[in-house]
Structure 1
Amino acid sequence: MEVTRASFVMVAMFSLIFSVFFPAAMAQSAPPAPAPTSDGTAIDQGIAYVLMLVALVLTYIIH
């Protein structure tokens, strides 16, 4: 019984000392997410490519 009480006291003291001297190790937050890199120009360019392809196909069909 004495060994259990002594080990409990040692664990309690160790955790107290660890939490006082290393508080950042106990609770670390994740870094913030990076900002989005798309500003809409890629979407506009994709739509332009599709419209040009449609115009090319229509021109080929008409002639």
Structure 2
Amino acid sequence: MELKRVSYTTTIVFLAFIVALVFPVAIAQSPEPAVAPTSDGVAIDQGIAYVLMFAALLLTYIIH
């Protein structure tokens, strides 16, 4: 059984072809993350809590 000799140029062309196929996948960027919701309810709850705390502080100050 005789082995075929592969020329240096053929090897370089083959490797260049493989790199050309793989390289774009390697530098591909993932899609941007979704935009955060403008109001998730936590900010509203926290705002209400601050208003109630301020009202309790004001009421306590007035009573004393």
User: What is the aligned partner in structure 2 of residue 58 from structure 1?
Assistant: 58
Query: What is the Cα deviation at residue 45 of structure 1?
Result: 1.3
Q: How big is the alpha-carbon RMSD for the aligned residues of Structure 1 and Structure 2? A: 2.6
Aligned length: 55
Seq. identity, %:
9
Query: What is the Cα deviation at residue 27 of structure 1?
Result: 3.7
Q: TM-score, normalised by structure 2?
A: 0.56
Query: Which structure: larger Rg?
Result: 2
Which amino acid in 1 is paired with 2:12? Answer: V
Instruction: In structure 1, list runs of 5 or more residues that go unmatched.
Output: 1-5
What stretches of structure 1 move > 6 A for 4+ residues in a row?
A: none
State how far apart, in whole Å, the 2-side matches of 1:54 and 1:13 are: 74
**Post-superposition CA distance 1:8-62 (Å, at most 9, x none):** x333430213424x46534422133034145242222111111100110111111
